[in-house]
Structure 1
């Protein structure tokens, strides 16, 4: 019988190594007790050192975790056992591959994860993974899709073959994986045509829906001259899209902004149809306060306002990340203000406070006109906290906020996704999006 204290010592840093060695020496006799520890809600032992010990024990450790996965009745127990099972490493690769045919979906799913966590060694199991793109359990099929994407462009030819030759039940997720890995260049002409046809079918019944991105940037121009706005901004290759597709692209690009290159996420924008008298251009490229884009957005809004009377640019952080607004009229910048918590926000301030800003300060009991250098610390903090979330309200006051549009918002025309000058020069990141 395994000493309980020996297992619990895996949770004590200065005893962990000795306890692990002792448990490995016990071999198969320690497996049942270690797996049971994973299901104990009161245990102070993390799953990682338990998984490490079971990996060192070998086949008996794998079999014990597999039995635990099959018999676990509570979701929390299944989760902890699954973590340990899927992290047994490349030494378990052959066993993971064999487990792909197990009748219990949870075992198949965790075996797929295990192959993914084997890294490059997992490439040898790709052929065994492909049939599970059509698994009857959607969680298993989704995990296979994600794992194949994780393998990288190496699997593109194999996925293209499925698209061309089937089997049919694998083709849908193969298409999603191809789009994520290689974008449009990885798709056949037939697939691109089918996607474009699906968009055309959906467009007549498409209705406005609000943005949902974590970081929201947009330019607002009165009227419905979408083609003229596209031309003035230097956008190219506009393609009709549904609101769901346009918003999904903006959200995905926003999450990628700055991940690999300083300007990633600036390649595309979504230009809406006319919405209650305004046309909106959505995307990180429209950022009025970021150091990479602020001066160009200032210039673009100035030029747009000279032609259309007004042009505004906004930033609104959906996770409490601040606000910024820029208002231009008749070719002149009236106001630019940022409150994002960055140290140099005040350097971007231009013009006098907007009437809406003044009115909001009066509501707070603050002076409508102010000099930050003369404000008390309490007054300054109160205004900053208020201004942190103000972009959405200012956009709504002037016209339309993309965060508040809905199916009831008056709409005329069709939205398009277009390449920015940066996108033309650098290409577009691949991705799979909802239509």
Structure 2
């Protein structure tokens, strides 16, 4: 019988207290990079041993001679079968930052079951090591709404200013705006007003749909989309909310709120669901709803555009309507639904579905500075540019990828609730201000 089987039999037949005697042989197998025995077998046995292996693994992480040995020990440590989250207290207070980070990560894996040990994580928010601080934040966030009273009490205590700011971020991340008390909510609004005054537009990460309306009437835009509860925000916060919501998996995250930009070079941009409706029919091409929606909006605002891109693939789409009529519609996923002749805003060249994956992800990957330079060079040299949605938006209205100091800004940005959001509230999550 080999060493692994011998140690495994001892670990399997012993109680947790007696199992401590096989920890050292298993640790040797775990960290021996030349061993013919798979290290995962030793790691799995250590995990089953649970608490008797906890501090020995912590010492192994702290004293590992190679990065590989440290990573193996961390993997075993993160999944220990430990009944009580409080057992991690010594590791959370360990002198080595890698052990403290590993202990916080282990608690994060426990989710709400780590709540009894949440108080042990609070000191790590002021840890000198960035990785430890980040792991403590993730663990507190994943412990669920039950941690909110602890976070509120800590914020009202004598925590340093930097930690108090992190606690405010955690409150928003766990419970959303509703988790903030009146004083904290007022502080956030005050900070938004201050930062919004001189904010310079920044290129946005594009992944999802947005509308562009030829208007400076914010009230009319909110009314056209059935929005209410509009809160003044910075452009950075609005873009952060849209990006977070588009990639969220929580119920109603994508349909609860809409980011409405300031007037940018004469256009108001509306970032939200694929059709501007909280719950469009599922499984159908967006064009069935987008085209009549754009036509309706253009009757009210003169010109109404809809654009869509995906940061994960080459999907790109646009709909351009003027005076109540759709003059151009294109969807790379459904080219058979194309309406109208190429718009003057579309550079010459292949449409996305015809270009293969040559320009896949270009809307999401290029920076505003690169895009501006590319467009200028392309114009000067007569080079055909790909007809992706961001490029089309740059010629027909406003390209969110190319926002910058030269963009003319009028009015302010808002984050508003849809009909769905009025029932479910803002999605949880901390946003950039």
Where on the TM-score scale, by shorter chain, does this alignment land: which range? 0.7 to 0.9
* 8 A Cα contact 2:296 2:324, kept in partner: yes
User: Matched residue pairs, number?
Assistant: 395
Structure 2 residue aligned with 1:339: 332
Establish whether residue 198 from structure 1 lines up as the match of residue 163 from structure 2. Answer: no
Structure 2 match to 1:132: 124
Q: Deviations over 1:358-392 (max 9, x none)?
A: 863xx45x9xxxxxxxxxxxxx9635657977212
Q: Describe the shift of the 1:90–1:399 C-alpha distance in structure 2 as closer, same or farther (beyond 3 A).
A: same
> Aligned in 2, Cα 1:415/1:307: closer, same or farther, shift over 3 Å?
same
Aligned partners of 1:89 and 1:118 also within 8 Å:
no
Deviations 1:31-80 (A, max 9, x none): 3412313xx39988364x33221134455533332222112355444333
Q: Is the 8 A contact 2:305 2:320 kept in 1?
A: yes
Structure 1 position 168 matched with structure 2 position 160? yes
Map 1:137-148 to 2 at 5 A: 137-148=129-140
CA contact (8 A) 1:287 1:314 kept: no
Deviates more, 1:309-318 or 1:125-134: 125-134
Unaligned 5+ runs, structure 1: 8-16, 367-379
Superposition deviation, residue 434 in structure 1: 1.1
Q: Once the two structures are superposed, what CA deviation does each residue of 1:161-191 show, in whole Å capped at 9, x if it has no partner?
A: 1122333364222212211111122111110
Q: Secondary structure at the match of 1:382?
A: coil
Q: Distance in 2 between matches of 1:101 and 1:406?
A: 46
Matched residue, 1:78: 70
SS of 1:127's equivalent? Answer: helix
CA distance in 2, matches of 1:145, 1:276: 39
Deviation, structure 1 residue 407: 2.6
Moved more, 236-245 or 86-95: 86-95
How far apart in 2 are the matches of 1:414 and 1:393?
25
Aligned pairs for 1:26-41 (under 5 A) are 27-37=22-32, 40=33
| Equivalence for 1:232 | 224
Q: How does 1:29-428 map to 2 (within 5 A)?
A: 29-37=24-32, 40=33, 45=38, 47=40, 49-57=41-49, 61-72=53-64, 74-91=66-83, 93-168=85-160, 170-213=163-206, 215-256=207-248, 259-261=249-251, 264-286=253-275, 291-292=281-282, 294-340=287-333, 345-346=334-335, 349-356=337-344, 360=348, 363=349, 382-383=354-355, 385=357, 390-428=388-426
Whether the 8 Å contact between 1:339 and 1:387 is mirrored in structure 2 is no
Report the CA distance between 1:198 and its aligned residue: 0.5
My pick for the range that moved more, 349-358 or 94-103, is 349-358
Shift, 1:240, TM fit: 1.7
Contact residue 85 and residue 114 of structure 1 kept, 8 A: yes
Residue 51 of structure 1 contacts residue 88 of structure 1 at CA under 8 Å; is this kept in 2?
A: no
Name the TM-score, length of structure 2 as normaliser: 0.80
**More deviation in 111-120 or 55-64?**
55-64
Root mean square deviation of aligned Cα: 3.2
Report the more deviating stretch, 305-314 or 74-83.
74-83
> How far has the Cα of 1:315 moved from its partner?
0.4
User: 1:369 corresponds to which residue?
Assistant: none
Contact 1:239-1:416 at 8 Å conserved across structures = yes
Q: Distance in 1 between matches of 2:138 and 2:312?
A: 27
CA contact (8 A) 1:303 1:331 kept: yes
Structure 2 unmatched ranges of 5 or more: 14-20, 363-387
Distance 1:358 1:275 in 2: 20
Change (3 A) 1:244 1:44: farther
**Partners in 1 of 2:184 and 2:345 — Cα distance?**
50
